[in-house]
Structure 1
């Protein structure tokens, strides 16, 4: 069986093309996120695998749960469900988000700090990161006391670990080498 990301790629591209044509990237992103959340529910997954549930019934359930706001969203939902690809919705949403970020020149940034950041500190850090990466960032902040001090930032596949824990690990590695 093909990887879900391989299956999701053409669906995400089609959704992106339609969303771009409709100038509704945010609405489509919200719609696909809702569909991914719904598809991740145990009850929905069981219904999707149940041979006695028709695709029309499953589409109806999805429309009630996700509430697509346009005809193109309803058609997309119907196409994915009819093709028995409900399990691909999370991968479709992820791939769509990647297309959206590339188009907008933005990225999601996951910032983990050892201590809670004040609003001004977070704004300053995000501003410096945007300048360094030449991208508009959508930050998500969290706290992890095990970092001891500093912060760790993940943007896509790039990781900037400026934590005390990482510095101690590098020093230990250098001393034992």
Structure 2
């Protein structure tokens, strides 16, 4: 995994340098769409076939992305494909998003919840988490029923686990000690 990150870093940094000259949000949307497409194993197998040209791969990926690509993103995608790095595209997108977030003072937060969170509740939770972590958060909520109740929040390398599952595990450890 470290190898992917190492390969992705220069692409992400170069992409960010170009993107910040324009509308970064548009670039984030387009690169994220391309990354989702590049995660498809069948597409990567298609791209790796010696019978398929780089232009054909580009056409398929660009069409599958479902968004209109700006000229800069088109050039980026062609470079990635020409260099045989389509499999690295998701890692590039992750690092690119991290650079964008770092520049804007925002951190990604993954919220895992046992139950769906209503928008009003989510706004309250996000406000409390932003105060707790001391920075603006870009949240992604994922349902995880095995938590039983409560939430688990991951921001960078910090984890805040207030789930029932975590409390039960702590009780189990305390009782068995």
Tell me, in whole angstroms, the C-alpha distance in 1 between the residues paired with 2:84 and 2:143.
Answer: 40
- Which residue matches 1:176? 176
- Which residue matches 2:48? 49
| 8 A contact 2:34–2:62 mirrored in 1 | no
Q: How many residues align?
A: 175
Change (3 A) 1:144 1:75: closer
**Is 1:34 matched with 2:33?**
yes
Report how far residue 68 of structure 1 moved.
4.9
Tell me, in whole angstroms, the C-alpha distance in 2 between the residues paired with 1:55 and 1:128.
Answer: 48
Report how far residue 118 of structure 1 moved.
3.3
**Structure-to-structure mapping, 1:82-121, within 5 angstroms:** 82-121=82-121
- Which residue matches 2:130? 130
Cα root mean square deviation, aligned: 2.0
Report how far residue 105 of structure 1 moved.
1.1
Consecutive unaligned residues of structure 2, counting only runs of 5 or more, are: none
**Is 1:62 matched with 2:88?**
no
Change (3 A) 1:65 1:147: closer
With structure 1 as the length reference, what TM-score do the two structures score? Answer: 0.88
Consecutive unaligned residues of structure 1, counting only runs of 5 or more, are: none
Report how far residue 102 of structure 1 moved.
0.8
Tell me, in whole angstroms, the C-alpha distance in 2 between the residues paired with 1:106 and 1:134.
Answer: 10
Tell me, in whole angstroms, the C-alpha distance in 2 between the residues paired with 1:77 and 1:145.
Answer: 38
Tell me, in whole angstroms, the C-alpha distance in 1 between the residues paired with 2:106 and 2:120.
Answer: 21
Tell me, in whole angstroms, the C-alpha distance in 2 between the residues paired with 1:114 and 1:68.
Answer: 36
**Structure-to-structure mapping, 1:124-163, within 5 angstroms:** 124-163=124-163
